[in-house]
């Protein structure tokens, strides 16, 4: 199940767990809760740098009306509540990592390796990747691909890597505004560039950015990215087109936030039974895939009568967790218990 053409990166960290959950959206996080009730530990990996998946990334402030028992909740609020619910089971989150290779070892356990060298070994894998992993939309500017990782970044993995540098951030959404505020303190200089004077971000955060501009702490340019230039094989300058002229800015760190695309990516190489090349077929008894030990829950799977709803994904997570128990604990008996009456479950939930 190792994708063709992918060289394994140098391993930087190895984690052992019961279940590797690929995808930190609402369904993936709820799976952590269901697995925890059964005494199974989870490691959650997501290509985004924050939990919540599409729900938190694309519509964090958009109201959701069809979550049982909650008349209205935003994508971010739902994410926060689900993470609070799963917290008693001490899940391990590794965000900003995209699983590139997945292979079964001789002992039957799976070995997954991310693009940044994270290695996770587990007997069970849950694919809860929504419609696939998120990948950044890249500016169509000559030379920018050659500077990726050499000053051009699409996410902030370590804030310390940006301290003391001239930073240019392109975009007008929540990611651009939030990282502007977060990186401003340690930057040598920071410039925000957006093609319009209206933003698709939280108004209070936008007001905070504009206040920093008015105070002379940073610069805002109404324009668009025009080009990049290198020195000593690293990013040195960014050209911005504004008002019919080109402004050249010293820049060692460029963050273009042009939105995200969803792609199935390396999952295509994992030898799973797919429908139309993009949805994973599952058995609805446990939501197992065609590969023993791998389960698919949420929008990534397909079966007769499938509804792409968060609440459907919650149901799938509950049944998949029971299937996972039989794989991870083949010699143990699975007992059905209620959280309202089981002292064992209440101890696991840390409410006893």
Domain boundaries, the chain: 13-135+261-348, 138-258
CATH homologous superfamily, domain 138-258: FAD/NAD(P)-binding domain (3.50.50.60)
| Predicted pLDDT at 105 | 93
Give the whole-angstrom CA distance, residue 158 versus residue 166: 16
Token pair belonging to 188:
């040598």
Q: Give pLDDT < 70 ranges for the chain.
A: 1-8, 57-61, 131-134, 261-265
How long is the chain? 352
| Predicted pLDDT at 1 | 52
Give the whole-angstrom CA distance, residue 343 versus residue 256: 51
Nearest to 130 by CA among 214, 51, 209: 51
Tokens 């799977």, located at residue: 301
| Predicted pLDDT at 344 | 95
Is the full-model pTM beyond 0.85? no
CATH number given to 13-135+261-348: 3.50.50.60
Which residues have a Cβ under 8 Å from the Cβ of 126 and sit 6 or more positions away? 19, 20, 21, 22, 23, 28, 31, 42, 295, 296, 297, 317, 320, 324
Q: List, in sequence order, every beta strand (DSSP E) within 163-321.
A: 166-170, 189-194, 219-222, 224-231, 234-242, 245-250, 253-256, 260-263, 274-275, 279-281, 294-296, 301-302
Exposed e or buried b for every residue in 257-284, given b needs 16+ CB within 10 A? bbebebebbbbebbebebeeeebbebee
């Amino acid at each position: 199940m190792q994708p063709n053409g992918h060289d394994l990166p140098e391993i930087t960290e190895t984690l052992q767990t019961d279940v590797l959950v690929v995808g930190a959206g609402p369904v993936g996080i709820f799976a952590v809760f269901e697995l925890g009730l059964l005494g199974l530990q989870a490691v959650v990996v997501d290509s985004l740098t924050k939990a919540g998946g599409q729900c938190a990334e694309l519509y964090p402030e958009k109201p959701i009306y069809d979550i049982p028992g909650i008349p209205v909740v935003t994508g971010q609020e739902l994410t926060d509540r689900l993470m609070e619910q799963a917290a008693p089971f001490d899940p391990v989150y590794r965000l900003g990592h995209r699983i590139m290779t997945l292979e079964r070892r001789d002992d039957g356990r799976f070995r997954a390796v991310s693009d940044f060298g994270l290695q996770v070994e587990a007997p069970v894998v849950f694919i809860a990747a929504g419609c696939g992993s998120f990948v950044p939309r890249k500016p169509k500017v000559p030379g920018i691909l050659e500077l990726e990782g050499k000053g051009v970044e699409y996410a902030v993995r370590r804030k310390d890597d940006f301290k003391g540098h001239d930073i240019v951030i392109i975009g007008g959404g929540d990611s651009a505004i939030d990282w502007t505020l977060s990186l401003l303190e340690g930057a040598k200089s920071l410039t925000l560039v957006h093609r319009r004077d209206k933003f698709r971000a939280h108004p209070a955060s936008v007001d905070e950015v504009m206040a920093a501009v008015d105070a002379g702490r940073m610069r805002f340019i109404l324009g668009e990215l025009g080009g990049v230039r290198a020195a000593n094989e690293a990013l040195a300058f960014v050209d911005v087109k504004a008002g019919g002229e080109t402004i050249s800015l010293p820049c060692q760190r460029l963050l273009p936030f042009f939105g995200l695309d969803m792609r199935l990516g390396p999952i295509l190489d994992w030898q799973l039974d797919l429908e139309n090349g993009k949805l994973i077929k599952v058995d609805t008894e446990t939501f197992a895939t065609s590969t023993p030990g791998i389960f698919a829950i949420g929008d990534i799977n397909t079966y007769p009568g499938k509804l792409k709803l968060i609440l459907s994904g919650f149901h799938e997570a509950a049944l998949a967790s029971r299937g996972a128990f039989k794989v991870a604990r083949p010699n143990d008996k699975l007992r059905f218990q209620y959280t309202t009456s089981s002292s064992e479950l209440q101890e696991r939930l840390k409410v006893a």
